[in-house]
């Protein structure tokens, strides 16, 4: 058994920024709690797919992360994307442009159980509402997902968009788990601050932001357009399979390939021998993991620039 979680690749790591100080400490504290619950669920025998779904829900509910409540605000408001894949069956479910619920991963999981892969816009929102009602969850407005932190980032984006129209990556959340039999991967995001209405990133695209096979699974974060150009998660999983790489080697080679096309981001990977890997070329990526080989979970802030990570073991 093994599970790894990321809280997104961060472009702005300035913790003294007066407008929107990076809240890496809040992310690490939240990851510490969430990995504990996720591992307990996996250890109690829950299937990887269920553990991935419920762990992504916990990340979406936490305002420290750019997903669900606390999502990055696009040019015309919050629009959420999420995707989930079952490595055992190859089934995939995803939604884009969600504005009416805080947990798009639940709708994505529902789609995974159908013959379809991806719902968008009005249809996706109608389905998300129906699933939320059935599960006793509240339907909300996109405004209800905005936090003061993301609002401050959006206000600054608005002030500066003419002088600096560069896309700023805001993170994403992702989970990959191996339950001893099957692997599953899930990813959820608000995308990027100021993203144009209707823009879809890599997160809900099979093989870009989310991928799982019988051998390994992966979830990505960072510059969506470059991640899709490479098909980052599929690239990583297939290179692990083809070249018999460890998850860490596969993560490093995938991020090197992303860097080679000018992309920045991060990736987490789990394989079917319960090994994990994580790598980023963004200034920072938060992650947490636990495997059957370890005596306690690890929570890390991986810093690409210095090529090291600050780990803290429970
Ligand atoms: N990959 C996400 C997107 O492009 C954003 C991120 O992870 O920072 O929508």
Number of domains into which the chain is organized: 1
Residue 170 Cβ inside 6 Å of ligand 1? The answer reads: yes
Which ligand 1 atom is nearest residue 199's CA?
9
Query: Secondary structure of the chain in the HEC alphabet?
Result: CEEEEEEEEECCCCCCCCCCCCCHHHHHHHHHHHHHHHHHHHHCCCCHHHHHHHHHHHHHHCCCCCCCCCCCCECCECCEEEEEEECCCCEEEEEEEECCCCCHHHHHHHHHCCCCCEEEHHHHHHHHHHHHHHCCCCCCCHHHHCCHHHHHHHHHHHHHCCCCCCCEECCCEEEEEECCCCEEEEEEECCEECCCCCCCCCCCCECCCEEECCCEEEEEEECHHHHHHHCHHHHHHHHHHHHCCCHHHHHHHHHHHHHHCCCCEEEEEEECCCCEEEEECCCEEEEEEEECCCCCCEEEEEECCCCEEEEEEC
CA of residue 155 to ligand 1 center, whole Å:
19
Pocket probe mutation, ligand 1, options 187, 198, 201, max atoms within 8 Å of Cβ:
201
Set 96, 99, 172, 286: catalytic member: 172
**Joined tokens for residue 255:** 């991020």
pLDDT tens track for 104-147: 999 999 999 999 999 999 999 999 999 999 999 888 999 999 99
Q: CATH number of the domain that 236 lies in?
A: 3.60.20.30
Residue 8 Cβ inside 6 Å of ligand 1? The answer reads: yes
Q: Is residue 104 part of a domain?
A: no
Residue 201 Cβ inside 6 Å of ligand 1? The answer reads: yes
CA of residue 295 to ligand 1 center, whole Å:
32
Q: Is residue 168 part of a domain?
A: yes
Residue 168 Cβ inside 6 Å of ligand 1? The answer reads: no
Residue 263 Cβ inside 6 Å of ligand 1? The answer reads: no
In the predicted model, residues of the chain with pLDDT beneath 50 are 305-308, 313
Q: Is residue 100 part of a domain?
A: no
Q: What is the dihedral of CA 294, 298, 303, 309, to 10 degrees?
A: -60
Domain that holds residue 37: 2-70+148-303
Q: Is residue 55 part of a domain?
A: yes
Give me the pLDDT at residue 167, please: 62
Q: Is residue 123 part of a domain?
A: no
Q: What is the pTM of this model?
A: 0.95
Q: Is residue 217 part of a domain?
A: yes
Q: Is residue 142 part of a domain?
A: no
Tell me if 79 sits within 8 A of 125, measured CB to CB.
no
Reply yes or no on whether 16 is catalytic. Answer: no
CA of residue 150 to ligand 1 center, whole Å:
15
Give me the pLDDT at residue 49, please: 98
Cα–Cα distance, 153 to 170 (Å, whole number): 10
> Residue of the nearest CA to atom 9 in ligand 1?
191
CA of residue 293 to ligand 1 center, whole Å:
31
Q: Is residue 225 part of a domain?
A: yes
């Amino acid at each position: 058994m093994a599970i790894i979680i990321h809280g997104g690749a961060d472009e702005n790591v300035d913790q003294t920024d007066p407008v929107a100080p990076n809240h890496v400490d809040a992310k690490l504290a939240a990851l510490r709690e969430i990995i504990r619950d996720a591992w307990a669920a996996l250890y109690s025998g829950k299937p990887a797919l269920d553990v991935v779904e419920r762990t992504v829900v916990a990340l979406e509910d936490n305002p420290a992360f750019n997903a669900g409540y606390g999502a990055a605000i696009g040019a015309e408001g919050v629009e959420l994307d999420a995707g989930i894949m079952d490595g055992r069956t190859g089934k995939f479910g995803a939604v884009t442009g969600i504005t009416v619920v805080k947990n798009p991963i639940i709708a994505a999981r529902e789609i995974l159980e159908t013959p379809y892969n991806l719902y968008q816009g009005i249809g996706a929102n109608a389905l998300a509402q129906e699933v939320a009602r059935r599960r006793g969850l509240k339907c909300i407005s996109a405004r209800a997902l905005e936090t003061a932190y993301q609002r401050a980032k959006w206000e600054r984006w608005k002030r500066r968009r003419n002088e600096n129209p560069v896309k700023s990556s805001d993170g994403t959340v992702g989970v990959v788990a191996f339950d001893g039999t099957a692997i599953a991967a899930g990813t959820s995001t608000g995308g990027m601050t100021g993203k144009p209405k209707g823009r879809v990133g890599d997160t809900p695209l099979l093989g870009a932001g989310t991928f799982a096979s019988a051998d390994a699974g992966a979830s990505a974060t960072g510059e969506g357009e470059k991640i899709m150009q490479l098909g980052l998660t599929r690239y990583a999983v297939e290179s692990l399979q083809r070249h018999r790489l460890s998850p860490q080697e596969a993560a490093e080679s995938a991020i090197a390939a992303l860097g080679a096309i000018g992309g920045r981001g991060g990736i987490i990977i789990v394989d079917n021998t319960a090994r994990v890997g994580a790598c980023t070329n963004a200034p920072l990526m938060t992650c947490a993991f636990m495997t059957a080989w370890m005596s306690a979970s690890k929570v890390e802030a991986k810093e690409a620039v210095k090529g090291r990570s600050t780990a803290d073991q429970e």
